[in-house]
Structure 1
Amino acid sequence: MTEKTTNLNRRDAISLIPAVAGGTVLSVALGSENARGEEIPAKREGVYPDTVKSASPTYSPAILAQGSKLLFISGQGPKDLSADMETQIRQTFENIQTVLETAGAGWENVVLIRSFFINLERDMPIYRKVREEFLVKPYPASTAVGTTALAVPGLEIEFEATAIL
């Protein structure tokens, strides 16, 4: 058996996916430099297959990311555990925003958000509403998980994020 080779690079192959499978790709180009000061383009592309239903208006089934650096943001929670849930969710997104800004990034760099909830059914509608204030298109890939406990006593929500720079 002989192997057939082609000069098609990975980027070209990925660009064919919507044509073959049907769907939409939304791109955002960002910029970054490597340790030698050379420009390395960071890029986020939302992948939206026609056959995959969206869970909400601020949901992307997948994000194709390219960048010279990755930022992994540890789980963040609210500052005030006694506040109403909308305030707690907003404070948690604000904490992530502070970490992003400290690293020289913004919401346009975020490629993944993972959210943990003690009361998923109650809090998910509030979460969907508040995240619209922060997230930008193409919306990051995301997962919401219901759980019975988080590491900090009294904590009911915790979000972590990954960004490209």
Structure 2
Amino acid sequence: MKNIFKGIIVLIMLAACDSNRVYEEYKTIDPGGWHKDSVASFNVEINEAEPGYNLYINIRNQGNYPNSNIWLFLDIESPDGQMLTDTVEYILAEKSGKWRGSGIGDLFDNQFLYRQNVRFEKSGEYQFFIRQGMRAEQLKGIHDIGLRIEK
């Protein structure tokens, strides 16, 4: 019983060490594939309009993902309705075919810096929308897509 209690305390302490995190969430992609029209949306409440936020895109891919890269379409809507639209490419595998990121079994986890030292102009709810841009009707092999914001 003491070992279980000690394990729980260690987990709580590790979670508390991530004090820079403002927001982090993953959306699980349909096992049948990420449809070209399917949107992963994230609603983030920003209470301090100050500089210094880093935005990350988190991707978990399976070993059967058929490409070495992924293109994503991102839309960010500010509390006053202004939209920022962007297209980004991330490399998931080396030229040798070795998957990047950390992996357990057949699942590989990557965190990519999207924007650094961002200043949110207004406090309030920001909406982030992410779609796959790989020109595939159903993109197979992507398990989760996530967003992380840090100070």
Kindly name which structure, 1 or 2, has the bigger radius of gyration based on alpha carbons.
1
Ranked by relative contact order (alpha carbons within 8 Å, sequence separation 6 or more), the top structure is 2
Interval of TM-score (by shorter of Structure 1 and Structure 2)? under 0.3
Structure-1-length-normalised TM-score: 0.26
Structure-2-length-normalised TM-score: 0.28
